[in-house]
Structure 1
Amino acid sequence: MKAVICNESRLRVADIPAPKPGKGQLLLDVLRCGICGSDLHARVHADAVADLTAQSGYDAFMRSDQEVVFGHEFCGSVAEYGPGCHERWQTGTAVVALPIVRNGTDVHLTGLSASAPGAYAEQVIVQESMTMAVPNGLSAEHAALTEPMAVALHAVRRGDVGKGQTAIVIGCGPIGLAVISMLKATGVRTVVASDFSPRRRALAERCGADVVVDPAEQSPWTSYPQGSELRRATELLNLGFDTMDRLRAVPKLPWWHVFRIANSLGATPAGPVIFECVGVPGIIDQIIASAPLLSRVVVVGVCMEADRIRPALAINKEIDLRFVLGYDPGEFQDTLHLIADGKVDPAPLITGTVGLDGVDDAFTALGNPDEHAKILIDPALV
């Protein structure tokens, strides 16, 4: 079969042996595959990422000297079952799958391991237990975006945006746009989007952002109604004094119980929930320095370099810092149905489609934020 191979940071189309599904696996004919920012990073930073993932307990991430087929955002049709499968779907059924396979006890990330070739190819292997049929006649183009949209859903759930809180998305690349879409799909009333690129700001509006900001001209931190958010430590301290004065003025009131009830109901001051979707050094510290007190920062962008923050500043502002990765099978399933039911529209993310021969040029084009967001690969396209 034909596939795009990455080796020593170079991409080329080659004929490679057709894959054979193992126990509990099935073979898909690839219908569409998305080019992910992780692929762009892995192309040039594979060894650094492999060292990091090895420290976290996964030692099979691709190395630059290996020949690897990228592609972990895909939709395909069932072509062949391996041994030990339940054969849940007829041949030709459109499906999506979590990009992870298991051989014995060895687990591999599809498209990011030399042991699990991905979907920049005519065919790809998936695990039957991790596969889901595409419902409601959903198009292959939209179904292929289940994976990146599931990353966004997981980030939004980890963000735990409360009623009355504002969500601020810093960076409107593909993952930032997906986060905006999921925030609106899950009922968040006010979503602020910030990006220097006019093209990406326009896409953020299409994804449902309520306020769109060019940070070169306007601060995202002052672009929305502030409500009860606190900007300075003295504001928080004065709020404490004012509250105690009122409570202690009520005779025999057990004021400490009021604090306990307020904490249990979430009726205490809180800042916005901020989604960092840029992934370059310095952004997290900039957010910590600029965000209101008591903000929650969800780090979705993948920074591939060492970074520095000032913990004391985050402590003084009591910033809640959370890092997120991936999704679970339930979130993947939920995302697929959100898209299929029309509650999330991934169409604004798709800005181009290429065949296998166009992948190298697509990688170059994706380096320009004013040109593209998400490019899909159609292996049948000549």
Structure 2
Amino acid sequence: MRAVVCQHADLEVVDLPDPTPGAGQVRLTVERCGICGSDLHARHGIDAWADMAAKTGYERFGRSDQPLVFGHEFSGRVAEYGPKAKGSIPTGTPVVALPLVRGTEGIDAVGLSLHAPGGYAEQVIAQESMMLAVPNGLPTDVAALTEPMAVAWHAVRRGEVGKRDVAIVIGCGPVGLGVILALKAKGVKTVVASDFSPGRRALATRCGADVVIDPAEGSPFAGGEQRGHVVEAEAAFELAVSTREKLERLPVGWWHVWRLGEKLGAKPKHPVIFECVGVPGVIESIIDEAPLFSRVVVVGVCVGEDRFTPAMAINKEIDLRFVLGYTPLEFRDTLMMLAEGELDPRPLMTGTVGLAGVDAAFTALGDPDAQAKVLIDPRSDAVTP
């Protein structure tokens, strides 16, 4: 089969042996595979990722000197089952799969391990238990975005954002745009999006953002007071004193009412902020500018070292959360939302290339105004997205 191999940061189309599914595995014919921002970073920085993975106990992450086949956002068709597979989904059926496979030495991340080549190829191996049939005639290009949309859905769920909360998305690349789509699918009424790129701001509007900000001209946190957010420490002090004084007028102990309010979820209004940039300094800038009591969900992947002032986050009582991936249930639910039209990622899909065009696609994705999400069609002859 033909595949794109990355080694020493060089991308090359090569011929590889057809993969053979092992026990409980299935071989898929790849229909589409998305190019993820993590693939762009891995091309030059996968060794740093491998070092971090080793610290968490995962020693099988790919290295730059290995011939790696990227691609973890894929859709395909069932081609062949391995031994001990149930084979419950008929051959030829369009499917998607979580990018995890169980090998002889453990679980591997598809597209980021030498032991689990990814979807930048004509064929890919998936774990049968991680595979789902694509329902409702969902197009294979849209189905391929189940994986990145599941990342966004997981981030939104971890943010515990309510429909009446204000959600602020910092960075409108594919991750941020996916978060906007997931927020609107959840029914969040006010989504503020911020990005320096005019092209990405336009895509944010198409994805449903209610307010779109150029941070060079304004702050995404502006107008917080009008939304009921606490933006200054003195206002937080006043809130504590005035609430205590108002409860004092009630005929029962004020502490009973306060405790009941806490059980019912009463708390100062605050935005839920999604950091979708992954560049050093962004977390610090959010902590410095965000209203008090803000919840910050870090979705962007900053591989290098970063820094912020903990005392500032403490003084504002910032709730800082980091997210990774998704659960199998979230992956399944995302596929269902795509199939039912509750999530529509087509505004993100800005180009398609064949295997010979992957290098050019990587270059094009470096321009935020040129491309957002480029898909690979292994049967296409297109060399530019």
Same fold (TM over 0.5): yes
What secondary structure is seen at the aligned counterpart in 1 of 2:221? helix
Given the alignment of the two structures, is residue 323 of structure 1 paired with residue 322 of structure 2, yes or no?
yes
Q: Give the equivalent residue in structure 2 for 1:38.
A: 38
Deviations 1:138-189 (CA, angstroms, capped at 9, x unpaired): 0011000000000000000000012421000000000000000000001111
The alignment status of 1:351 with 2:350, answered yes or no, reads yes
Structural RMSD (CA): 1.0
What does residue 112 of structure 1 align with?
A: 112
Residues of 1 paired with 2:34 and 2:243: CA distance? 53
Q: Find the counterpart in structure 2 of residue 101 from structure 1.
A: 101
Question: Structure 1 CA distance, aligned partners of 2:320 and 2:11?
Answer: 37
Q: Distance in 2 between matches of 1:183 and 1:225?
A: 22
| CA distance in 1: counterparts of 2:172 and 2:266, whole angstroms | 31
Aligned residues: 381
Q: Following TM superposition, by how much is the alpha carbon of 1:7 offset from its aligned partner in structure 2, in angstroms?
A: 0.2
Report the Cα distance in structure 2 between the residues aligned to 1:114 and 1:105, rounded to whole angstroms.
13
Query: Cα deviations across residues 29-52 of structure 1 (Å, max 9, x unaligned)?
Result: 000000000000111001101000
AA aligned to 1:374 is K
Does the 8 Å CA contact 1:33/1:74 hold for their aligned counterparts?
yes
Equivalence map 1:254-293=2 (5 Å): 254-293=253-292
Q: For residues 225 and 126 of structure 2, what CA distance do their matches in structure 1 show?
A: 47
Please state how far the C-alpha of 1:226 moved relative to its aligned partner: 3.3
Provide structure 1 residue ranges, at least 5 long, that are not aligned to the other structure.
Answer: none
Q: Is the 8 A contact 1:7 1:64 kept in 2?
A: yes
Q: CA deviation at 1:224?
A: 6.6
Moved more, 147-156 or 252-261: 252-261
| Residue of structure 2 equivalent to 1:363 | 362
One-letter amino acid matched to 1:268: K
CA distance in 2, matches of 1:367, 1:7: 20
What amino acid sits opposite 2:4 in the alignment?
V
1:61 to 1:255, Cα distance in 2 relative to 1, 3 A: same
The Cα shift of 1:227 comes to: 2.3
Would you say the 8 A contact 2:224–2:291 is kept in 1? no
What runs of 5+ residues in structure 2 fail to find an aligned partner? none
Structure 1 position 333, deviation (Å): 0.4
1:277 counterpart letter in structure 2? C
Q: What TM-score do the two structures reach when normalised by structure 2?
A: 0.97
Cα distance in 2, alignment partners of residues 141 and 164 from structure 1: 33
CA distance in 2, matches of 1:348, 1:195: 16
In the alignment, which residue of structure 1 is the partner of 2:129? 129
Give 2:185's aligned residue: 185
User: How far 1:253 sits from its partner (Å)?
Assistant: 2.1
* 3-state DSSP of counterpart to 2:321: strand
Q: Tell me how far apart the structure 2 counterparts of residues 66 and 267 of structure 1 sit (CA, whole Å).
A: 54
8 Å Cα contact 2:225/2:231 also seen in 1: no
Superposed, which structure 2 residues align to 1:93-242 within 5 Å? Answer: 93-222=93-222, 226-242=226-242
Instruction: Note if contact 2:163-2:187 (Cα within 8 Å) is conserved in structure 1.
Output: no
Post-superposition CA distance 1:220-271 (Å, at most 9, x none): 0015773221001110101111111122233x42100111111111111031
Cα distance, 1:201 vs structure 2: 0.5
| Structure 2 counterpart of 1:355, one-letter code | G
Counterpart AA for 2:143: A
| TM-score (norm. length: structure 1) | 0.98
**Are 1:373 and 2:372 matched, yes or no?**
yes
Moved over 3 A (4+): 223-226
CA contact 1:158–1:324 (8 Å) conserved in 2: yes
CA 1:224–1:139: 2 relative to 1, 3 Å: farther
